[in-house]
Amino acid sequence: MNGYSIFCVSDHTGVTVESVAKSVLAQFPHLEFSLITLPFVDSAEKAQATAARIATAPRTLIFSTLTDPTLRLPFRQAGLSLFDVFDLIAPAVESALGQTATPSGGHTHGMASDYEARMDAVNFALNLDDGLNPERLDQADLILVGVSRVGKTPTALYLALQYGLRAANYPLTPDDLEQDDLPVCLKAHLPRLRGLTLSPERLAAIRQARYPDSRYASLAQCRMELSAAEVFFKRHALPIVDTTRMSVEEIAARLRLS
């Protein structure tokens, strides 16, 4: 076996530690990793069982966000390579603040005060997906615009779930692109419009997977649509994000700052 088994261990959902692990491992592009997330390791018994499970696997690294120091002991006692976020960072923060941290698990992704707002934003994104209910565009924080398959829907949903932003998305169809300008319903909301684009080759590959050998998926069609959309974007000086080499998380982060 040439690769490493990476275990992301958390006393809650594991979302934070998984993000940290992915970011760190991305710095080692010549190595192979398989990522396994083990959430809700929130008792001594679960920690011992998890450590015993990992100890049987070859070539392992463990990233963890175990806020209770006692939960980290079984992994160290088993001689495993453990990189705990709190273990590594909390002492430096304690030093800077002049205070001792009080371990308290599960606060990062629990029922936070913005939970209802995020759920409302998700429902909004679904109700205004793919050009639905354009009469409600005035209620949107952001309106994502682009041709079919540039990543509008997943990005809108991520903006809603992660940041609580009400994101609508509107597809520019071939009929729209044959007109002289953006649809009227979009021009009424220019400050909130954000253009999404990507390379013609990437768009063709995405469309080909869904509709093989169709005109819709042809490279010529993709080039034509992207070029026409870019004319609209530049005419109105819309912020544009090229999604060709970006994850949904990266796209959403850039849009949030645009």
As a whole number, the mean pLDDT across the chain is: 93
What is the per-residue pLDDT for 105?
56
Span 37-47, average pLDDT: 96
Q: How confident is the model at residue 214 (pLDDT cuts 50, 70, 90)?
A: very high
* pTM value surpassing 0.75: no
Encoded tokens for 190:
């220019």
The domain spans of the chain are 4-97, 115-257
User: Which CATH superfamily hosts domain 4-97?
Assistant: Hypothetical protein af1403; domain 2 (3.40.50.10550)
List the one residue out of 240, 133, 122 whose CA is nearest residue 185.
Answer: 133
Q: How confident is the model at residue 112 (pLDDT cuts 50, 70, 90)?
A: low
What is the per-residue pLDDT for 257?
86
Q: Is the pLDDT of residue 208 over 80?
A: yes
Q: Is the pLDDT of residue 216 over 70?
A: yes
CATH class in words for 115-257:
alpha beta
Question: Using CA atoms, how far apart are residues 97 and 99, in angstroms rounded to an integer?
Answer: 5
Question: Using CA atoms, how far apart are residues 102 and 67, in angstroms rounded to an integer?
Answer: 9
Comparing 197 with 26, the larger pLDDT belongs to 197
Report percent pLDDT > 70 for the chain. 95
Q: Is the pLDDT of residue 27 over 60?
A: yes
Q: How confident is the model at residue 229 (pLDDT cuts 50, 70, 90)?
A: very high
